Amino acid sequence: MTLAAAAQSATWTFVDGDWYEGNVAILGPRSHAMWLGTSVFDGARWFEGVAPDLELHAARVNASAVALGLAPNMTPEQIVGLTWDGLKKFDGKTAVYIRPMYWAEHGGYMGVPADPASTRFCLCLYESPMISPTGFSVSVSPFRRPTIETMPTNAKAGCLYPNNGRAILEAKARGFDNALVLDMLGNVAETGSSN
């Protein structure tokens, strides 16, 4: 049995105290995050030798974890240090996406909320070329960004992104590259691929 699909580009992941190359299998069918979507992440970039706002991204992933009921077990400073260590594994010719993540391994009461004591961390670094600045077309999506009363919009939570994915697919079906996602009041909240 293959435990994980091959990585789509050069990838290094720090999990459980060590670095692993490729698309490491880190979730199981009983993992709370796999079943009920309790994961958070943040996304930074490394290009031309710099990683703008890396410290802010590291702090934000911890704030997102708390907002989702997880217990962050890395400091922002540790995340930043690990990132710079991991970036040494790349040749620097291609931009690298920096994705620190937390997720719940187990559930709490009746399995529904996350058990904060089961929070796990990984840092995934992978080559992801910057899109050339040639522009792209957008359309207003019929799908809306949820409110904090309905979803954890105060976290960069993985469970929010299927909505953005369907916004992009719907826009592409109409011949556009991306979608503008409005909030419940009709204000532009984000594009399908950025917030």
Give a yes or no: residue 2 inside a domain.
no
Are 45 and 115 contained in the same domain? yes
| pTM for this model (two decimals) | 0.94
- Could you give the angle at which helices 54-67 and 76-87 cross, rounded to 10 degrees? 130
**CATH code where residue 40 lies:** 3.30.470.10
Q: Decide if 32 is inside a domain.
A: yes
Token duo for residue 52? 């703008």
As a whole number of angstroms, the distance between CA 150 and CA 146 comes to: 6
Q: In the chain, what percentage of residues exceed pLDDT 70?
A: 98
80's CB contacts (< 8 A; 6+ apart) are 54, 55, 58
Residues 85 and 52 in one domain: yes
Instruction: Look at residue 185 and tell me whether its pLDDT is greater than 80.
Output: yes
21 shares its domain with 116: yes
Q: How many domains does the chain have?
A: 2
Reported as a single tens digit per residue, the pLDDT across 73-105 is 999 999 999 999 999 999 999 999 999 999 999
Tell me 194's DSSP state.
Answer: B
What token pair was written down for 107?
């559930």
Residue 46 lies in a domain: yes
Q: Which helix (H) or strand (E) holds 11?
A: strand 11-15
Q: Domain range for residue 76?
A: 11-127
The pLDDT assigned to 155 comes to 97
Mean local confidence (pLDDT), 126-154:
95
Give residue 1's pLDDT. Answer: 43
